[in-house]
Every structure is written in structure tokens, then in C-alpha cells.
């Protein structure tokens, strides 16, 4: 798995085996969302780590 995908999964708190679905809003917008909704976060967003090559 690429570093970017790991960072997105970590920031979104996606668990292994969690059910997700794609919603295609239009030809330019694809939304990945959980099948089982979580409560919204009340704290500050988690910063992503800088990718170094």
C-alpha cells in the first residue's frame, strides 16, 4: 500500500475490514464513504505526515 493511502486511512481512522463505498456525484467527483456512519470529530483535525522520498 502506498504511503499516501496509509496516511489517508490513518487520518480517517479507517479500520482494516471496514465497509466503504464509492459515491459518484458527477464525472469529476468521487466520494469514498463509510457504510456504517461514525460520530463526527469534535477535536482538531489530525495533521498528515510530510511525505519524503
Is 46 a domain residue? no
Domain that holds residue 9: 3-34
Is 25 a domain residue? yes
Is 18 a domain residue? yes
pLDDT band per the 50, 70, 90 thresholds, residue 1: low
Predicted confidence (pLDDT) at residue 44 exceeds the cutoff of 60: yes
Task: Name the domain count of the chain.
Answer: 1
> What's residue 53's pLDDT?
62
> Could you read off the pLDDT of 3-27 as tens digits, one per residue?
888 888 888 888 888 899 999 999 9
Strand partners, 21: 33
C-alpha cell belonging to residue 52: 519524503
Is 44 a domain residue? no
First to last CA, the chain: 15
Is 7 a domain residue? yes
Is 41 a domain residue? no
Is 30 a domain residue? yes
Amino acid at each position: 500500500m502506498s504511503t499516501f493511502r496509509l496516511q489517508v486511512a490513518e487520518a480517517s481512522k479507517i479500520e482494516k475490514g471496514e465497509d466503504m463505498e464509492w459515491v459518484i456525484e458527477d464525472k469529476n467527483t468521487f466520494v469514498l464513504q463509510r457504510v456504517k456512519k461514525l460520530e463526527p470529530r469534535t477535536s482538531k483535525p489530525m495533521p498528515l505526515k510530510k511525505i519524503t522520498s
